[in-house]
Structure 1
Amino acid sequence: MTASWKISFGLMSICLLQCRAASQKVQLEPLNSTALRDSDVQFIATIQGHWEVTNWGVRGIQVLTIINSTNSIIPSEDRFSARFCVNTSRSCVEFTVHNVTRADAGEVVCNVQGHQPVTAQLYVQESGTVSIPGGNVTVKQGGEVELECVTTAWFPAPTISWTQNGQAVNSSLYNTTSTAHGDSFNSTSTVRLTASRNARVECLASLSTLTAPRSSSVYIEIVPKPPDWTVLIAIVVSFGSCGLLVFLILGIVICYKHRKEKKQNYQDEMRRVRTHSRLSVISTTEQVRGQANEYYESENQRNDTGDWTESGFMKHRHMTFV
């Protein structure tokens, strides 16, 4: 029983070593490759020792055969090609898939006759469109702007980011959702920005195979904020109120002075009129008395020049006696 177990173990070990040695005779690089749709992708097989025929398969379909003895390379279609590596012996073969499509994604198998097949994995990405609907935006300074970026027909869903005047926008200011649409993905990303100055805002969608992100951009134009007239109005109202009060006071003073002067002028006029009336009465009386008695002299005394005086008033008068 013990001897039988030992024999079985020894045979198993020999088989494993032989399988390992056989698998190590063919190496395929890279074992995982990701390519962008319509690009070319290469796989390199290194074969140790003599070999006669090598077959290449993509997604389970044999697409190319190499016959070493006749130096023949037989592709199934023009999109597949092979060649021996430069400056090496025939132990190195380069296999190329041209203009890869999504249908090429999957296993790529190198099968060297007499050896174990070696398998690599091919992934194919596809870029679609990027757009910011609505175009340029005009907003008041300090206002909030909401922009939406839409990507369609991508595989896998792209990584979306935003920039403002070339500076990355904080990821907390935008959110992105992606949904499957057939065998591709559509994504929507929404960003909210505070408009403090004119800015160029750009949405970028990227994949690992893209040398540069696909992008779409718009411009945010700031409309000058209308001036705040509150302070100026308050100042104008204050000065206006003070000026109105001053004019009111001046008006009252002027009116008071005018009324006072008018009253005084009225009193002076009345006094003048009374004085004139009194003098007229006296003059009339004296004329009557003078006609009655040519020697009559009133209580008014005549001075040396022949002028008559009455109660402090002096009146020049030329009298003619008949």
Structure 2
Amino acid sequence: MGTVATITTLFSILLGLCLPTKIEDGPKDAYVLVDSDAAFNCTVSLPWAILIWIMNDAPVLTVTPERPIITSPQFGQRNYTTSQTFTSELIISAVTLQNNATVKCSLQTDGSQQANLFVQVEGTLFFESKISSVVTNRSTDVICKAEGWNPEPTITWTINQTTVHSERYTTIKSPPSGHLYTVVSTLNLTLSAEAEVTCLAAIKALPQPKNASLYITVKPVFDSTVNQDQTWLIVAIVVPIAVVLLLIILAIVIAFCMKRNKHSESSYQDEIRKISKRKTLEKTVVDEKSSGLENFGMSSESVDDLIFPSAAPATIQADSQSRIENIYTLKMPVVPASNLGSLEQTVNQYMANVAIYPQKTRHVTAV
């Protein structure tokens, strides 16, 4: 069997060399999404001997009338034969961006024809802000973003399925990131009635453009004005009231702090006065107990006033207290011994009626 196949192949080659075989229809450019399958067709006239598929100048598949010779599992082949022609279909499975290349169909007797394989990436398409309503006859920007595409997609717009003129929107293309592109398109929209706004992104590998839509309603212009007026009115009322309340609270806090400080100072001074008064009173009581009896017979004009022995203080205090002690010291004049009994009775009777506080010095002259 091997010998017969070899002989048949050689016969076909010789026959192809003798007969005028040519390429009737060569491969065409293909635009394919990444991870999809790409297909190229090459139609030749009969009889033909050998057909070779070349990709970037490297043979990837050889076809003979008996069987194809495959060099890589990514490449495959299907046959379509008529009474006058033979068509070989090259199939490239799960293409990647690295498969962007020139594909060539070659006949040994009639040269070759070539085409290009373009592998493309479909990215995402979305609106940066989903607008649900606009004010009637007021300009609004609608932003559509196509992200992660290869090549850069073409962005167009429609309103109620009617194409928008390109002057009404602007498109900005960003530098590629890892062979992927981002495109941002901004539509300046002015509506007087509700509408469906659609953003479309197209590349040749897509049979239909990818789209994203918004259904936008229209609000009367007076609604917006009324809302703004109400907002300003509320602000104009609330802000002054808030300022007044803050000032009142601040004044109350300041008054409270001042009152508290004054009360603390007053309490401190009162305590000092009480302590001073209590010490003075105690000192007075002690001095009076030790000073003896008042001399009701003492005269302020007498030169012969003497200090009664029992009225002399037991101990002399510091200079700061000497003035107080002298105030309450009684000076007694010299009296005859025969009158001492009646004088002592008179002094005792008077001392019973004299108050301890406030203390005063009384000068009495005995006759």
Normalization by structure 2: what TM-score? 0.49
Give the structure with the larger strand fraction. 1
Checking the alignment, whether the CA contact within 8 Å between 2:102 and 2:115 is kept in structure 1 is: yes
**Amino acid in structure 2 at the alignment position of 1:221:** T
Equivalences for residues 6-85 of structure 1 within 5 A: 25-48=22-45, 50-68=47-65, 71-85=66-80
State the distance in 2 between where 1:179 and 1:24 align. Answer: 50
State the distance in 2 between where 1:50 and 1:86 align. Answer: 11
Task: Please point out which of 165, 185, 193 is paired with 1:189.
Answer: 185
Corresponding residue number in structure 1 for 2:116: 121
Gaps of 5+ in 1: 1-20, 230-322
How many residues align structurally?
207
Corresponding residue number in structure 2 for 1:222: 218
Corresponding residue number in structure 2 for 1:154: 149
Q: Give a deviation string over 1:35-80, Cα, whole Å, max 9, x none.
A: 3434443322234455544332223343222233xx2223334432
Does 177-186 or 84-93 show the bigger shift? 84-93
Give the structure with the larger helix fraction. 2
State the distance in 1 between where 2:84 and 2:77 align. Answer: 15
When residues 164 and 75 of structure 1 are mapped into structure 2, their CA distance, relative to the original with a 3 A threshold, is same
Equivalences for residues 264-275 of structure 1 within 5 A: none
Task: Please point out which of 197, 201, 209 is paired with 1:213.
Answer: 209
**Amino acid in structure 1 at the alignment position of 2:207:** T
Q: CA deviation at 1:188?
A: 0.9
Over the aligned positions, Cα root-mean-square deviation in angstroms equals 3.1
Q: CA deviation at 1:114?
A: 5.9
State the distance in 2 between where 1:23 and 1:31 align. Answer: 23
Task: Please point out which of 162, 166, 174 is paired with 2:161.
Answer: 166
Does 175-184 or 190-199 show the bigger shift? 175-184
State the distance in 2 between where 1:109 and 1:79 align. Answer: 16
Checking the alignment, whether the CA contact within 8 Å between 1:28 and 1:119 is kept in structure 2 is: no
**Amino acid in structure 2 at the alignment position of 1:212:** Q
Provide the secondary structure at the position in 2 that maps to 1:180. Answer: coil
**Amino acid in structure 2 at the alignment position of 1:79:** Q
Q: Give a deviation string over 1:270-304, Cα, whole Å, max 9, x none.
A: xxxxxxxxxxxxxxxxxxxxxxxxxxxxxxxxxxx
Normalization by structure 1: what TM-score? 0.55
- Quote the sequence identity (%): 29
Corresponding residue number in structure 2 for 1:201: 197
**Amino acid in structure 2 at the alignment position of 1:211:** P
Q: Give a deviation string over 1:124-151, Cα, whole Å, max 9, x none.
A: 3332111111113333222221111111
State the distance in 1 between where 2:86 and 2:68 align. Answer: 15
Provide the secondary structure at the position in 2 that maps to 1:103. Answer: helix
Structure having greater relative contact order (Cα 8 Å, sep ≥ 6): 1
Checking the alignment, whether the CA contact within 8 Å between 2:21 and 2:110 is kept in structure 1 is: no
